[in-house]
Structure 1
């Protein structure tokens, strides 16, 4: 499930969304291995990077569980002898001179600790102080190591070491110092049953451990924004999509954003102005499309996507696109590509003028935008109809290969 989530998020960008199995992917890329096109190179790089990261994530989680369950292996034994040295995996600090892999394993502990529980049998292999075997555990969060030692216990004590004849062996004074301990009922140990580790999900229900359940438990979950399909779709140009994502989140480093960081310096920054039109501070709303320069560029290209009736307000342009954010109709695909291309080129031109002292006239930018969108359209396939043919002719995109999958 984890690998599927990762792969589904990137295969569209690799242009191999039609391949579902590993054999299909390998055979598909092998058939184009001799090609040096950008799309072919990106597909191979994304496949290599995704398989590496999925394997690395799997190993990190697998190794943590191997250490906690004391799996019989040379690697686990070596880490217990040379890394832990009698200490609990949960308590050992991150050394300054440890290997990168060991540091990453230790840094994963805060993310997984609340999900790994010990199911007590005979209590021999469950740490009394550091493992999670009751709701208020680990007890080391309540009782300090100093108090534990002063009571005569070892920090390596197991559950079996602190229970005798059905009662806890810790001092009665602890109930006054740590009243929450009264909520822990004495466990009934089963001499013939081994302790086991279990994984509990976000709902605190026990479930079978796997990389997919672990990923679903610890990953960050947010509400889907209404515009995500507008940005991330099978037809998007990755660099344009990333720029659009920044715009939708108001994260471009425009001058108004920079001024908000250092308001006391506003008086010394009064000379700042839009590098495109020199009329005002540049901002998201100004660049798209209150700026006279960006307006000129927009007027040159908008008719090709039938957007001439949309007001020159960025939010209203987005609102029009959102109405058909999931549509695969050619006109809606072209609209998404065109708006993203215009936004990307305008931001690029703004930076070139501000930091590189290079400028291009609107007609040159218009040609670049149209060439980018046209090149993308040549790599897509459409259902052959008179309406689609007419639309592609308007963009000067020709060729029967555009329709071969649907004829």
Structure 2
């Protein structure tokens, strides 16, 4: 957590927190805090009071941002203002003590400061605020800060078929990886330069790709035939991953979308687990047994979520 109110104590030797250079002897925690400065400085705004605490070069007290970044490392020399100067030391007798501008950036700073009333020793103390979009959050706001640091992308068209309400977490995560085609299938392993056979270990007849493993493999086709027979679905042939996702996203009275998603999630998860079981443990399980395992998983999912509206009528449709 980043602390909003930054107090510069004697241990910093009167050096701005924003200008400290990391040292090899620093603790891990201190180095971690210093790394966060780039993220934090865009949110911490210094509101000038008497100018006694705010740093002229490092604090974000003008619309130009930290002046050391606006003017560059040569700024202190160009304006004849020490790098460690406080704002209160840069004005005298109601005037800003600045050298005549010799660059466009220096001129922009002069123009801005000319619109400000120099701080007065009788004014309130300088203070710091956490601002997002020019608005004071009244303190650190984790939610709004996260949205700025990690803006949301547009919702993917397939999101509802992966992260649907009532999904089994491990099934959904595995389905997410599969949909992105990130599973380490043998073809992908070979494309990375690994010396492995690309033949499917379940049928040994074709190269092991995502589409083959979950759709075209004769081993998986047997499982699909059991499922389609149970659902009383005929004349349906899936030929690609996109077609499978399209079928999972569709709906009908006899086979609602939620039931289809449970089936696809469970089949993809179980077939991939059996593939790994065969490769790493040399254990062969017939498709009929895998189907029974999928059947049990679907029944358990429906039973555990029977209180949810979309799951209430699924069991009769699955057990018919």
TM-score category by the smaller chain?
A: 0.7 to 0.9
Change (3 A) 1:330 1:195: farther
Q: Does 1:280 align with 2:206?
A: yes
- Tell me the residue number matched to 1:19: none
What SS does structure 2 have at the residue aligned with 1:118?
A: strand
Residue 148 of structure 2, aligned match among 217, 223, 231: 217
2:248 aligns with one of 299, 321, 326: 321
User: In proportion to residue count, which structure has more helix?
Assistant: 1
Instruction: Encode CA deviations 1:174-233: one digit per residue, 9 max, x unaligned.
Output: 5368665456433313421332222332x3444433423333333332111122222223
Which runs of 5 or more structure 2 residues have no equivalent in the other structure? Answer: none
Bigger Rg, structure 1 or 2: 2
Alignment of 1:202-351 (within 5 A): 203-211=133-141, 212-262=143-193, 271-305=197-231, 310-312=236-238, 313-323=240-250, 331-351=256-276
Within 5 Å, which residues of 2 pair with 1:100-139? Answer: 101-139=29-67
Compared CA separation, residues 307 and 100, structure 1 to 2 (3 A): farther
Would the alpha carbon gap of residues 222 and 278 (structure 1) be closer, same or farther in structure 2, given more than 3 Å must change?
same
Provide the rounded CA distance (Å) in 1 between the counterparts of 2:84 and 2:232. 73
Q: How does 1:5-404 map to 2 (within 5 A)?
A: 60-61=1-2, 64-66=3-5, 68=6, 70=7, 80-82=9-11, 84-96=12-24, 98-99=26-27, 101-145=29-73, 148=76, 153-165=81-93, 167-172=95-100, 174-175=102-103, 181=109, 184-186=112-114, 187-191=116-120, 192-201=123-132, 203-211=133-141, 212-262=143-193, 271-305=197-231, 310-312=236-238, 313-323=240-250, 331-381=256-306, 390-391=316-317, 393-394=319-320
Size of the alignment, in residue pairs? Answer: 313
SS at match of 2:45: strand
Residue of structure 2 equivalent to 1:49: none
Counterparts of 1:386 and 1:259, CA distance in 2: 45
TM-fit CA distance, 1:386: 11
Q: Secondary structure at the match of 2:113?
A: coil
- TM-score between the two structures when normalised by the length of structure 2: 0.81
Structure 1: gaps of 5 or more residues: 1-59, 71-76, 395-407
After superposition, the Cα gap between the structure-2 partners of 1:333 and 1:285, relative to the gap in structure 1 and judged at 3 Å, is same
Q: Taking structure 1 as reference, are residues 386 and 293 closer, same or farther at Cα in structure 2, changes over 3 Å only?
A: closer
Please, what is the CA RMSD of the aligned residues?
3.4
- Give the secondary-structure state (helix, strand or coil) at the position aligned to 1:240: helix
TM-score by length of 1: 0.66
CA deviation after TM superposition for structure 1 residue 341, in Å: 0.9
Q: Is the partner of 2:19 in helix, strand or coil?
A: coil
